[in-house]
Amino acid sequence: MEICTYPDPVLRRKAEPVGKVDEGLRKLCERMVETMIRADGVGLAAPQIGVSKRIIVLDVDGEFHILINPELVSTSPETEEFTEGCLSVPGVSATVKRSAEATVEGTTLDGSKVRITGKGLLARAIQHEIDHLEGRLFIDRLSPARRESIRKEYERNRREKK
């Protein structure tokens, strides 16, 4: 599957909830996992492959998760700054402040409810992928000046690749 890149409008839409888990959804999730691995990512949200549905996959520090209709239920008041990039905004990165701990609830492919609490990179990946489901990109968390600088760098990189 191809990864949608900024400024594709699908990346700015709030994703729709998933109805029932069926074979088509399982195959979509399998393709999402393959796409994430091929792109050497730690997470992928369905909007990043052009599907405006509330699905994320994560592969962080040996923990692998597929979450249907995930919801961020809590974040810690403590924050951490770390350099972040995105498969949908390739070739650029920036320091982003996020909560040091995050808890997400969702449904697995077998229909079980699950609650995951992550720290460090897992917390960051959870928040990053949930942002995608809300139509936000990591660059939206930057100051206006830094966001404009990153946008110009991204556009310059895109022109050079053509």
Residue 4 lies in a domain: no
Residue 107's domain spans which residues?
Answer: 9-161
Query: For position 123, which CATH number holds?
Result: 3.90.45.10
Residues 106, 69 contacting (CB under 8 angstroms)? yes
pTM score of the predicted model:
0.96
User: What pLDDT was estimated at residue 62?
Assistant: 87
Residue 3 lies in a domain: no
Report the amino acid identity of residue 21: V
Residue 151 lies in a domain: yes
Residue 110 lies in a domain: yes
Residue 1 lies in a domain: no
Give the residue from 117, 129, 107 showing the smallest Cα distance to 58.
129
Q: How far apart are CA 104 and CA 126, in angstroms?
A: 7
Residue 27 lies in a domain: yes
Residue 126 lies in a domain: yes
Residue 122 lies in a domain: yes
Residues 130, 14 contacting (CB under 8 angstroms)? no
Q: How far apart are CA 22 and CA 103, in angstroms?
A: 26
Q: Catalytic one among 2, 16, 23, 129?
A: 129
User: What pLDDT was estimated at residue 161?
Assistant: 83
Q: With the CA atoms of 142, 144, 145 and 149 taken in that order, what torsion angle do they form, in degrees rounded to the nearest 10? A: 70
Query: Tens of pLDDT along the chain (162 residues)?
Result: 899 999 999 999 999 999 999 999 999 999 999 999 999 999 999 999 999 999 999 999 888 999 999 999 999 999 999 999 999 999 999 999 999 999 999 999 999 999 999 999 999 999 999 999 999 999 999 999 999 999 999 999 999 987
Active site residue 129: yes
Q: How far apart are CA 69 and CA 117, in angstroms?
A: 16
How many domains does the chain divide into? 1
